[in-house]
Structure 1
Amino acid sequence: MTRVSIASRSATQVFDDNGNEKHEFSASEVLDHMETDWRSMWISIFLQFIVGVQVSVYYMSMWPYLQKLDKTADVDFLGWIIASCNIGSTISNPLYGYWNQRTMSVKMPVIIGFLIAAVAQMWYGLLSLFSDAKWFMLAARVVTGLGVGNIAALRIYAATASTPKDRMKAISYGTGGYVLGISFGPVLSAFFTPLGENGWKLGFLQISMFTVVAFLMTIVLLAACVIVHFFFNENYVGIIDENGKESNVVIPKYDLIGALTCIYLFMTVNIIATNIEVMSTPLTTALYDWKDSQSILYNGIALCCSCVVSVALNIILGSTRFGKL
């Protein structure tokens, strides 16, 4: 078989040994005739926002809460607690990705992940009931990471449920939703600072500025499971199915070097961001002699401003020509 490329045509002319002409189309040319289901995509973006909130909601309040629960805890242990959520995500991310790839479904990985995270959030809110609370806080954050690792499935969906022309927009908006959640988490925590460190008792529950967010997040995660189950419609228009593979469609090879480069850059950005987020509360408390409520409020505002810039950049990449450079 002889292949002759014709630049002025969207297909490649192919002649078999008998001289009969066939046409082979690239995968992108086939997918360009499909339409992205933006209703489901926006739900996916909203779910990534929720994941971002789960990750960051305690960044500013965790240090004073840890000191209140256990006087033996130091900044070194705080670093391990912050890292524990990321360790949990590191373990669960590839598992959710594999689950999604094997089943070609994002619903169950996302629902199971949110249920796991809901258990962890309730656990975090009940830490005052345990002795050796710092270790239980560490365990709760590991479990949270195991749950919110489902963002891997959501990011896969953004890539596979969007057409090539919409892919940059879908992924940029998804990343923007996640970053917006990162910024909203500390703001939400700061919103409840008027409750004070001690708050009040509701049965065996301690309702304070440290715990009320955990109970609220549990409700939010359960509501997200309901949304995914009843309103999320999976529509994978961005991939070629088995029928497409058997037809005259040329599918490009997987770019391993490019993928590894993107993973490395993403890891570097997150290392820098996490370092700043972990150190901000204890550092500013020591430098400016702030009270716990002041440290939570002001650092939450600072992180929010930083994330607003990042969200704006993602919107620019998804909505303007800059994303196509």
Structure 2
Amino acid sequence: MDRLLCCVTRRESRKVNKTIGLETFEERRTRWRSIRLMYLTMFVMSTGFTIILTAVWPYLTKLDPNVGKEFLGFVTAAGPLAETIFSPILGYWSNKSGSARQPLLATLALMVLASAGYSLLEAFPASTAKYWMIITRFLIGVSAANVTVIRSYISAATTLDERTGATSILALCQVMGYIFGPVVQSILTSLLGNDGFPIIEGFISMNMYTSVGWVIVVLSSINFVLLLPQFFTEQHIAVREEMKTQGISTPLPDSQPVWKKSKLDYLAAFSLIFGYFVLVFNIALLENLGIPIVMDQFAWTNEEAVYYMGIVMAVGAIISVTVIALLKFVCK
């Protein structure tokens, strides 16, 4: 046991030596605890995004049997549209306040409310339920925009040597959420089915559609608590590292002058942004249109379509996990 503790201590000492002059041992522990909480937040947000994707069309037709597939386009577009609008807004909020906690707590609270609303859509009249679905999907999209803040915090809370590994793990957590969401949806589909059981007779029920919303309510609530000041302390080591590189020893009230002296590769940045756009475009296209396509092509029921598409998405995500796990080694 003593030998094990000695090995762990030496390992931690080597890690601290890499950031000597930038932080103390306790600050390092606090910093990495905050980074791991960002991993958790990314996992929760990814799960919340994917857990309902495969069931949107069956749920929509259950709420309104007369709805057309063209309306699915509006429901599908609501989330990404909200994320597109609010990603820069949340980024500006985080930069202006100098804190990642505020926008993260706000969006997690919104995720709880939106997911609960999604699960309660059956309580609305059939004539308006589909419009409320658009609203809940829009609000979930607003919540999902906090991935901008998560990624920016990871960049600010890691050194240059740590950043590739940290962002790879962050991407891994995102894909793990992509696995967990469809798997949970498939499990709940097999357990509860299309009708489930009533909670309030003729008003609210627990079925394969509503249960996933409550799962996200629970996960987001736990995540919200863990980001409170008692558990989450922000540590921005990147600016200290840059100040050391530039030979600035006096602490500055604002980090902007430090970053203005750094040369940014805008072409590389926009290339990565465009690549990410193409990736998410294909994910959203396939995952949202997959269900109605397989239902039409194979004459599957709602339960069969959601169950099997959940498995297909999980398999694809497992392949992605394998690729992402190799990035840390490939990028060295």
2:284 & 2:243 partners in 1: Cα distance? 44
Task: State the match for 2:113 in structure 1.
Answer: 119
Q: How many residues align?
A: 293
Task: State the match for 2:81 in structure 1.
Answer: 87
Deviation by residue 1:32-76 (Cα, 9 ceiling, x = unmatched): 864763222121111101110111111111111111101222222
The letter for the 2-side match of 1:196 is G
Q: Which has the higher helix share?
A: 2
The letter for the 2-side match of 1:212 is S
- Could you tell which deviates more after superposition, 111-120 or 31-40? 31-40
1:124 & 1:175 partners in 2: Cα distance? 27
Q: Which runs of 5+ in 1 are unaligned?
A: 1-29
Q: Contact 1:32–1:165 (CA<8 Å) still a contact in 2?
A: no
- Could you tell which deviates more after superposition, 176-185 or 86-95? 176-185
Match of 2:147 among 143, 151, 161: 151
Secondary structure, in 3 states, of the residue corresponding to 1:202? strand
Secondary structure, in 3 states, of the residue corresponding to 1:236? coil
Match of 1:101 among 75, 95, 105: 95
The question of 1:237 aligning with 2:237 is answered yes
Task: State the match for 2:214 in structure 1.
Answer: 215
Task: State the match for 2:11 in structure 1.
Answer: none
Q: Identity rate of aligned residues, in percent?
A: 26
Secondary structure, in 3 states, of the residue corresponding to 2:198? strand
1:290 & 1:144 partners in 2: Cα distance? 28
Measure how far apart 1:254 and its partner are: 2.2
Q: Which runs of 5+ in 2 are unaligned?
A: 1-17, 250-257
Alignment of 1:168-207 (within 5 A): 168-193=164-189, 194-203=191-200, 204-207=203-206
Secondary structure, in 3 states, of the residue corresponding to 1:234? coil
2:238 & 2:291 partners in 1: Cα distance? 43
The question of 1:75 aligning with 2:69 is answered yes
Q: Contact 1:199–1:208 (CA<8 Å) still a contact in 2?
A: yes
Deviation by residue 1:223-264 (Cα, 9 ceiling, x = unmatched): 110011132221111224897678278942222222111111
2:21 & 2:175 partners in 1: Cα distance? 31
The letter for the 2-side match of 1:247 is I
Q: Contact 2:196–2:208 (CA<8 Å) still a contact in 1?
A: yes
- Could you tell which deviates more after superposition, 44-53 or 67-76? 67-76
Alignment of 1:1-325 (within 5 A): 34=22, 37-131=31-125, 132-193=128-189, 194-203=191-200, 204-229=203-228, 230-240=230-240, 247=248, 251-318=261-328, 320=329, 322-324=330-332
Measure how far apart 1:288 and its partner are: 1.6
Q: Which has the higher strand share?
A: 1
Deviation by residue 1:154-209 (Cα, 9 ceiling, x = unmatched): 01011111110110111111111112112211111111112121212213431111
Secondary structure, in 3 states, of the residue corresponding to 1:60? helix
Indicate how the Cα distance of structure 1 residues 119 and 256 shifts in structure 2: closer, same or farther if over 3 A, else same: same
Please give the TM-score of this superposition, normalised by the length of structure 1: 0.84
Secondary structure, in 3 states, of the residue corresponding to 1:239? helix
Secondary structure, in 3 states, of the residue corresponding to 1:304? helix
Q: Contact 1:32–1:163 (CA<8 Å) still a contact in 2?
A: no
Q: Contact 1:31–1:238 (CA<8 Å) still a contact in 2?
A: no
- Could you tell which deviates more after superposition, 127-136 or 160-169? 127-136
2:101 & 2:142 partners in 1: Cα distance? 16
The letter for the 1-side match of 2:54 is M
